[in-house]
């Protein structure tokens, strides 16, 4: 692209296009990408960057993968989309079969949503409709933990962290749920008895008005990139069982191997009643998410007054997205993804280990293919991004967090580059 054309595009973008969590007109630069192949993004001026973010957890196989490209173009030759009301199609059925097979056993029913946020909305609606069907409409609140992130729509925002989730902006219109303190930090930390008691106490105190519990298993993503011990997730499963609550696990970020297990809940060997998947579902190709539930939840909803689940997006089960999602799952299962994730974990751990001693760094943590450097103060995003780009790496920090979740297909050398960029940033703080 000519420098003139690039300038024109950027000028229009700045004035007219909203970017995530950004003002308009923009106050910080965005970078024009013209193509992506393998794990590299190519910018308009020809610069190549190793993508340390997998386009927000999604592009686990990298970009332009021949098998995923073929799944999309093959399906495109048959049909791009048809409505899902009164119709069905092979890509949707194949994907649902595959999801029922690879997710925890009690999950048998599949709802296709068009984004992660909608999948969480549907999960919340399922939990509420379930209790309405039982003749207990007053059980409509959710128990969750602080530090969570579940999406940007109003139902979801109400279960996001009340401070960084910006509840104060909308406090008059958001549903009021029950918040426990954030799970204590540390995947391997000894479980804190006092914390477990607090969870039990809150659940018992509110059980009569609770529909369920919603959390991200093991890794809290956009709410703070915090890892917690499997023991807490097991405790939430027990608490849910004790009070008849539905356990909703938002695996939109953690799913498909990112944490070193296929599902975050596998770390705790528990299964949810309702599970949300998204992000890596389509290997980063198209927007699609799903909400799975058990027979008990589905039957509960269907036996109620409405008799149906009251949701149905226009682009539900989009065939292109479903086809590429099935291909992405096949690809993941055909490779030794566990070994790839373990290798990334080992390189990020050794590459970032010593950074915790640096003066500007509060904490360093690595789990699976996720590496996090937490600064003591909020970082200057454009400056930090520039430093990463000088190292040939694309990173997108937020708040105090500089983090990476590389595509699983990165070579050791490429992960080294990502770790080196993060180290340079840590040193500069």
The answer to whether 16 and 10 are in contact (CB under 8 A) is no
| Residue 130 binds ligand PLP, judged by CB under 6 A | no
**Full strand arrangement of the beta sheet holding 401-404:** 361-367, 370-375, 401-404
> Which residue has tokens 């992506």?
36
Cα angle 62, 66, 67; round to 5? 95
The CA radius of gyration of the chain, in Å to the nearest whole number, is 22
Does 400 carry a binding-site annotation?
no
Give the nearer residue to ligand PLP in terms of CB position, either 38 or 183.
Answer: 183
**How crowded is the C-beta side of 71, counted as CA atoms within 13 Å?**
25
Distance CA 361, CA 288 (A): 36
**How crowded is the C-beta side of 303, counted as CA atoms within 13 Å?**
10
Q: What are phi and psi of 53, to 5 degrees?
A: -110, -10
Q: Can you say whether the dihedral through the CA atoms of 89, 90, 91, 96 is positive or negative?
A: positive
| Interface pick for ligand PLP out of 55, 75, 103, 115 (rule CB under 6 A) | 115
Does 403 carry a binding-site annotation?
no
| Residue 227 binds ligand PLP, judged by CB under 6 A | no
CB of 174 to ligand PLP, least distance (A): 16
- The span of 116-124, 126-134, 196-204, 263-271 binding ligand PLP (CB under 6 A) equals 116-124
The residues with which 276 forms a beta bridge, in sequence order, are 250, 291
| Residue 221 binds ligand PLP, judged by CB under 6 A | yes
Say which of 51, 109, 130, 149 is annotated catalytic.
149
Give the nearer residue to ligand PLP in terms of CB position, either 50 or 405.
Answer: 405
CB of 57 to ligand PLP, least distance (A): 7
Burial class (CB in 10 A: 0-12, 13-18, 19+), 116: buried
- The span of 132-140, 186-194, 250-258, 415-423 binding ligand PLP (CB under 6 A) equals 250-258
| Contact code string over 161-200 relative to ligand PLP, x by CB under 6 A | ----------------------------------------
Annotated binding site for substrate: 56, 149, 279, 312, 396
Annotated binding site for pyridoxal 5'-phosphate: 116-117, 250, 313-314
Q: Which residues are catalytic?
A: 21, 149, 250, 279
Interface positions with ligand PLP (CB under 6 A):
115-117, 120, 149-151, 216, 221-222, 250, 252-253, 278-279, 289
């Amino acid at each position: 692209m000519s420098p003139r054309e690039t300038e024109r595009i950027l000028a229009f973008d700045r004035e007219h296009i909203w970017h995530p969590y950004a003002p308009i007109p923009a106050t910080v630069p965005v970078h024009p990408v013209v193509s992506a192949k393998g794990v590299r993004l190519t910018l308009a001026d020809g610069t190549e960057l190793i993508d340390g973010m997998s386009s927000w957890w999604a592009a686990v196989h990298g970009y332009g993968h021949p098998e995923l490209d073929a799944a999309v173009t093959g399906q495109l030759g048959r049909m791009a989309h048809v409505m899902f009301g009164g119709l069905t199609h092979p890509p949707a059925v194949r994907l649902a079969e595959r999801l029922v097979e690879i997710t925890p056993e009690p999950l048998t029913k599949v709802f296709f949503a068009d984004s992660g946020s909608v999948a969480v909305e549907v999960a919340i609606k399922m939990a509420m409709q379930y209790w309405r069907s039982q003749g207990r409409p007053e059980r409509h609140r959710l128990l969750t933990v602080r530090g969570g992130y579940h999406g940007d729509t109003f139902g979801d925002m109400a279960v996001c962290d009340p401070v960084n989730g910006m509840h104060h902006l909308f406090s008059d219109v958001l549903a009021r749920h029950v918040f426990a303190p954030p799970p204590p930090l540390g995947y391997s930390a000894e479980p804190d008895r006092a914390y477990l008691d607090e969870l039990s106490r809150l659940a018992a105190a509110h059980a009569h008005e609770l529909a369920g519990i919603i959390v991200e298993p093991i890794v809290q993503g956009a709410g703070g990139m915090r890892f917690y011990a499997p023991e807490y997730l097991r405790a939430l499963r027990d608490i849910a069982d004790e009070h008849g609550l539905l356990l909703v696990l938002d695996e939109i970020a953690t799913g498909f191997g990112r944490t070193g297990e296929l599902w975050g809940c596998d770390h705790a060997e528990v299964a949810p009643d309702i599970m949300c998947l998204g992000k890596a579902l389509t290997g980063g190709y198209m927007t699609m998410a799903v909400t799975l539930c058990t027979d008990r939840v589905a039957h509960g909803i269907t036996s109620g007054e409405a008799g149906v689940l009251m949701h149905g997006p226009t682009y539900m089960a989009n065939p292109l997205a479903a086809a590429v999602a099935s291909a992405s799952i096949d690809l993941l299962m055909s490779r030794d993804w566990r070994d790839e994730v373990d290798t990334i974990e080992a390189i990020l751990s050794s590459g970032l280990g010593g950074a915790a001693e640096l003066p500007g760094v509060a904490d360093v943590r690595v789990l699976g293919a996720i590496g996090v450097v937490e600064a003591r103060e909020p970082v200057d995003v454009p400056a930090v991004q520039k430093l990463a780009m000088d190292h040939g790496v694309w990173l997108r920090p937020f708040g105090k967090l500089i983090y990476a979740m590389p595509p699983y297909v990165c070579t050791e050398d490429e992960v080294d580059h990502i770790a080196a960029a993060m180290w340079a940033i840590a040193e500069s703080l």
